[in-house]
């Protein structure tokens, strides 16, 4: 059961020295099952320090990429989270390679991992929430997470962070999507910076 309230975490940019701490997390079979092996954080690090490999992904323009490490009160890394910011959100049909629906809100997709030694203490929820609340993502109007429907821990961590179902049927990649729209201030066109709890 996750702690309530969640433990405080702070997002910091993913730096090379933190890679050494994060890499062993990827030796856990459950992490490998959902994210892959040690090449995953290595690739995230390369993305942070280089140019994104795509300028377009599934009909969305990739505006930028973020990769953070969440640290606890003692500045120890407890999680990694990152993803792309897009100019829009699209629904994609891999069978035809076409966009089937477009949402013009600036969006962000994200993936995350918590240090396996700390699972079940609320760090997943706190880290997802920290991404949404980060000044670096203040322009994002819609956060979307693609999750394996069998990944109960990830679904529950996302739900605890305020995400609700966007799709309920697994797509062609066996993912369901959950969303968190950023609330707008009435009468303005920009996000208010407040989100549903
Ligand atoms: C998914 C993950 C990030 C969750 O991190 P966490 O710190 O354990 O999550 P939390 O402690 O914040 O728990 C959040 C909720 O999930 C539940 N939960 C945690 N682990 C669970 C498990 N193994 N089975 C079922 N529920 C679980 C908690 O009880 C809590 O539910 P509640 O808020 O209803 O009480 C972590 O399990 C992980 O790193 N998994 C491997 C990588 C991965 O799957 N990433 C996501 C890819 S989309």
50-74 pLDDT tens trace:
766 668 889 999 999 999 999 999 9
- Which pLDDT value is given to residue 186? 53
Degrees to nearest 5, angle at CA 96 with 82 and 64: 25
Ligand 1 center to 152 CA (angstroms): 7
Q: 95-99, 115-119, 184-188: which range is least confident on average? A: 184-188
For 157, other C-beta atoms within 10 Å of its C-beta total: 27
Distance (Å, rounded) from C-alpha 87 to C-alpha 107? 6
Indicate the pTM of the whole model.
Answer: 0.91
Cβ contacts of residue 1 below 8 Å, gap of 6+? Answer: 120
Q: Is the CB of 144 under 6 A from ligand 1?
A: no
Contacts of range 49-52, beta carbons closer than 8 Å, 24 or more positions apart: 52/84
The domains of the chain, with CATH numbers, are: 10-194 (3.40.630.30)
Cα atoms found within 13 Å of the Cα of residue 100, Cβ hemisphere only: 8
């Amino acid at each position: 059961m996750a702690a309530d309230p969640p433990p405080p975490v702070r997002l910091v940019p993913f730096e090379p020295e933190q890679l050494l701490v994060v890499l062993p997390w990827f030796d856990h079979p459950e992490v490998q099952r959902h994210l892959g092996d040690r090449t995953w954080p290595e690739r995230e690090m390369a993305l942070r320090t280089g140019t994104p490999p795509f300028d377009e992904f599934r009909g969305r323009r990739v505006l930028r990429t973020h990769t953070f490490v969440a640290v606890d009160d003692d500045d120890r890394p407890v999680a990694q989270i990152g993803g792309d910011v897009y100019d829009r959100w699209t629904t994609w049909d891999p069978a035809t390679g076409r966009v089937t629906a477009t949402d013009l809100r600036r969006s962000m997709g994200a993936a995350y991992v918590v240090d396996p030694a700390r699972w079940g203490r609320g760090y997943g929820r706190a880290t997802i929430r920290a991404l949404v609340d980060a000044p670096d993502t203040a322009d994002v109007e819609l956060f979307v997470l693609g999750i394996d429907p069998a990944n109960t821990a990830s679904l529950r961590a996302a739900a605890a962070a305020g995400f609700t179902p966007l799709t309920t049927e697994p797509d062609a990649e066996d993912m369901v999507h959950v969303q968190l729209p950023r609330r707008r201030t009435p009468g303005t066109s920009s996000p208010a910076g407040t989100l549903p709890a």
